[in-house]
Amino acid sequence: MFIRFRKSHWRLKVYVVENARRDGRVVQEIVGYLGSVDTRALMSTGDDDREVSVLARTAFWESANPKIKNLANRIGDDAAQRRVRMAVHARIPWPKEPERQRLDLLKADREAKLHHAAYSDVTKMIEITERIVAKATADGKELRRDALREIALANEWAAKAERLRKRK
C-alpha cells in the first residue's frame, strides 16, 4: 500500500493505491481517493499566500482524515494509517498550531482593515451628505427670501391696482 500523487492542472490529487496481481501481471488498484489541494496554495510566499495555503491545507486534511479512517479495513491498523498520513504529510503538510494562530492574526488584521475602510467610506458619505444638507438649507433660505420679496412685490402691485381702481 502506498500513496500516489497525481497533478491535474493546478490540483494535486492524492490516492491510496495498492499493488495486486491480475492475470499474472502486477497492477495498481486505487483503494481510495483522499482529496486534492491547489498546488499554488502549497507554494506560499507572502502573508496572503500563506493564509490561502493554511486554509487549503486545513480543508484538505479535514476531508482526508475521515477518509483514511473509513479505509481502515483496507489500509490496516493505526500504525498503517499513521504511515499513510505521514506519507501524505510529506507533500501536503498539515497546518501546525503556530500557522493556525498566524492565520487567526491575519484574519483579524484583514477584518480590521475592512472595517476601517468601511468606517472611512461612511465618514466620507456623512461629510458629503452634510455638505449637501448645508447647501440645501442655504438654498432653502435663499428661496424663502426670494419668495418673501416676490410676495411683497405682489402685495405692492395689488395695493397700487386697488388705488387705481378707487380713483376711477
Q: Model confidence over 56-102: pLDDT tens digits?
A: 898 999 999 999 999 988 888 889 899 999 999 999 998 888 888 88
Q: Helix or strand or coil: residue 93?
A: coil
Structural domain contains residue 60: yes
Distance CA 103, CA 97 (A): 10
- Total domains, the chain: 1
Percentage with pLDDT > 90 across the chain: 66
Q: Kindly tell me if the per-residue pLDDT of 168 is higher than 80.
A: no
- Which letter does DSSP use for residue 18 in this model? E
Strand 2-8's sheet: what is its strand order?
Answer: 2-8, 11-22, 25-38
Structural domain contains residue 116: no
Structural domain contains residue 151: no
Structural domain contains residue 122: no
Q: Helix or strand or coil: residue 95?
A: coil
Structural domain contains residue 158: no
Structural domain contains residue 130: no
Q: Helix or strand or coil: residue 10?
A: coil
Q: Which residues contact 67 (CB under 8 A, 6 or more apart)?
A: 32, 33, 34, 35
Structural domain contains residue 138: no
Range of the domain at 81: 2-95
pLDDT of residue 47: 62
Please write the tens of the pLDDT for every residue from 121-137: 999 999 999 999 999 99
Q: Kindly tell me if the per-residue pLDDT of 166 is higher than 80.
A: yes
Structural domain contains residue 134: no
